[in-house]
Chains A and B, each alone.
Chain A
Amino acid sequence: MPSKLETAQSPQALKRVVIEPLTRVEGHGKVTLLQDENQVIRQARLHITEFRGFEKFIQGRPYWELPVLVQRLCGICPVSHHLAAAKATDMIVGARELTATADKIRRLMHFGQTLQSHALHFFHLCSPDLLFGFDDDVRHRNIVGVIEDHPQIAKQGVLLRKYGQEIIRITSGKRIHGTGAIPGGINKSLRKSEIEYLQKDITQIIGWAQDSIELIKKIFFEHYAYHLAFASIESNMMSVVGADGAFELYDGGLRATDCWGKSIFDHVDYNDYEQYIREGIKNWSYMKFPFITSIGQEQGWYRVGPLARVNNCDFFSTPLAETERREFMAMGNGLPVQSTLAYHWARLIELLHCTEAIAELLNDRDLCGKDLLNRGELQLSGTGVIEAPRGTLFHHYEIDEQGIVEKASLIVSTTNNNQAMNESIRKVSNQYLDGNMLSEALLNQVEVAIRAYDPCLSCATHAIGKMPMQINLLNANNELVDRLEKRVDGQFDRTI
């Protein structure tokens, strides 16, 4: 799709529509729509305007700093970067396997983080849209509005997130940017009192996770046709799966399937990921465009994250989540579920799985083990791949013989969804853009499409959740044809 614009017969006649979220002024993202002479949107460009340059400035640092240094990429899902870097440095210190205690503590930490991140996205950021609708007063349509109108739902969301954060604190010492994982293992196991503290609330937490699925199903089925069709695109999907095909977040092989559910590759050793995934670059975004090498840049883009993981896995190892998966997959009638809004539903199935898996792990005596570290011979490179809340995350490092980082390559989760987000935006834009007139509906729907992906907004940019907008419609001569702005009170001004 990317080159369709370039192949337009008369590119000089294309119109440019710029959608500037508030986030633009914060250096976040913005959207440009390019429209041809028949007023069809040929290309949507989600610009990622922030650049930090981690790959360069960690050069010259010792490898053992990586797990605590690179987690500063993101304060929303720091554990993902912490663990992906730790896995890469496991290989560097020659720890081919972790001790049972180290493996299970890291998994517990990761379940805790996925739980808190999914709860944050659903309750704090998306539930205002889902509960109040888009016509709601802009001063009310936020988490504070949910606290006022649906105190029970708000409370459950805040406490689900709190529980995940407490797991992170107990396994890593701090809720944000902790220090639990180190090359070859972990620095601390759990005390019995800490396990008892976490066990105290877990039954309640599982119950609330089930409530949240009931809520999203109710919302989804109330406008079923809309939810199914909205921003729906036919895409490939990629995720990590277990050796037995089980849903997996911490470790496994790479699986990619096409829009018919057919395998593109399966159980690929992620150390070889560079042979399977390459990244294109566009001059209008700091975010790269990964694609599956064998299919090529044009058609090889794919989706990652909850929707891809739930579609790709053969089963969940926990019973409640598995029951929910089956109901979810029935929607696809044998094909992968492609509805973009189904991301929300899939995310909450994962949240439920995390709570069940935590309950299981808390009964495991290995959590209190004393054997924390494995070390072997120093290797000069290492790769760590993990399923972060928003999708597959790749870290790769090369060091010199003194242990100093010489080269780093990071593909963050949201980057994997780059082209898919553009495709979803293009789809809704064509549906809601009426000739040369910008409409409120268009602004709202573009926001909804982007938000469904839960773009990690810090890994790839810094924006979070809400994106009040200004849209500029420019003609081929760069003249302003139309402009719409959303005011503080939620009303729209045509400011031209």
Chain B
Amino acid sequence: MNGAQMTDSGLKAKLKVSTAALCGCFGCHMSLLDMDERFFKLVELIEFDRTPLTDIKRLGRCDIGLIEGGVANAENVEVLREFRRQCDILVAIGACAVNGGVPAMRNQFDLKECLEEVYIHGIGVENPQIPDDIEIPLLLDKVHPIHEVVKVDYFLPGCPPSADTIWTFLTQLIEGKAISFPYSLIHYD
């Protein structure tokens, strides 16, 4: 994909962008909104398909997919694979998607221990039991970064990446340029 495609009428078609939050905290999506007034400009350049900000249920064919969060349960795997199938460019946004992040801290414990701590040994717990209803998706024993499940085209680190970083990345990608950042945008706390 080299920049926005042309339609029959000669007008530039907007690029389609989808986003998803897997096992993360939603901070990367918030950082996307932190571009403030530039968001108005962004929606002139792109069209959102399935994202938590719209009511669109099924993921359609997209130019760019942004994934926040790591992979912690069977549904995360399903959603991630669907994004890979439907998106030309798949981007891991933020520490959790890139390397598992804070939720992956549970990897040093057995999953059972984690569940027991919360639902059996928790302070003030009445009728202790571990939720196991069929309506609840199966947890994975470890939390994984998304590149362990699908091929990822770009990694945007940070917890979260700043709005300036996301803006710079998206505008360069939309214009078909090579991605490059000034040092200040890849300098982390």
> A residues within 8 Å of B by Cβ?
18, 22, 24-27, 30, 32, 45, 47, 49-53, 55-59, 69, 72-76, 78, 120, 124-125, 138-139, 141-144, 147, 154-155, 158-159, 161-162, 165, 173-177, 179, 274, 277-286, 288, 291, 297, 396, 407, 409, 457-458, 462-466, 468-470, 485-488, 490
Contacts and interface: CB of A to CB of B under 8 A. Distances in A.
A281 B126 contact: yes
Contact of A409 (B37, B76, B123): B123
Contacts, number: 235
Given A142-B53, A144-B43, A281 B119 contact: yes
B154 interface: no
A57 B106 contact: yes
A426 B57 CA distance: 24
A50 B108 CA distance: 19
Q: B26, B102, B163 — which one has the most chain A CB atoms within 10 A of its CB?
A: B26
Interface of B: 20-31, 33-34, 36-37, 39-40, 43, 48, 50, 52-58, 60, 69, 72-73, 75-76, 78-79, 82, 101-103, 105-106, 108-109, 111, 113-115, 117-119, 122-133, 135-137, 139, 159-160, 162-163, 189
Contacts of B135: 18, 30, 32, 45, 47, 49, 284
B141 to A, nearest CB: 12
Nearest to B101: A72
Given A278-B125, A282-B131, A462-B69, A52 B53 contact: no
A173 B189 CA distance: 10
A55 B122 contact: yes
Contact of B114 (A22, A57, A277, A468): A57
Contacts of A274: 123-124
Contacts of B28: 75
A470 B58 CA distance: 11
Given A75-B26, A280-B126, A52 B136 contact: no
Given A158-B37, A175-B163, A462-B21, A53 B55 contact: no
A26 B75 contact: yes
B53 A466 contact: yes
A381 B24 CA distance: 28
Contacts of A22: 50, 57
A400 B127 CA distance: 28
Given A57-B114, A175-B163, A409-B122, A47 B75 contact: no
Q: A25, A27, A72, A147 — which one has the most chain B CB atoms within 10 A of its CB?
A: A27
Contact of B48 (A141, A144, A177, A409): A144
Contacts of B102: 69, 72
Given A59-B117, A281-B125, A297-B126, 14 more contacts: A26-B76, A47-B133, A49-B135, A53-B118, A56-B113, A72-B102, A74-B27, A76-B27, A139-B54, A142-B55, A177-B27, A462-B24, A466-B55, A490-B55
Nearest to B77: A27
A262 to B, nearest CB: 24
A233 B183 CA distance: 54
Contact of A73 (B25, B31, B60, B139): B25
A385 B39 CA distance: 35
B60 A283 contact: no
Nearest to A464: B52
Given A26-B75, A49-B135, A142 B48 contact: yes
A282 B132 CA distance: 9
A52 B56 contact: no
A140 B10 CA distance: 24
Contact of A407 (B36, B55, B123): B123
Contact of A488 (B22, B57, B106, B137): B57
A279 B57 contact: no
B22 to A, nearest CB: 7
Q: A45, A73, A281 — which one has the most chain B CB atoms within 10 A of its CB?
A: A281
B56 A138 contact: yes
B136 to A, nearest CB: 5
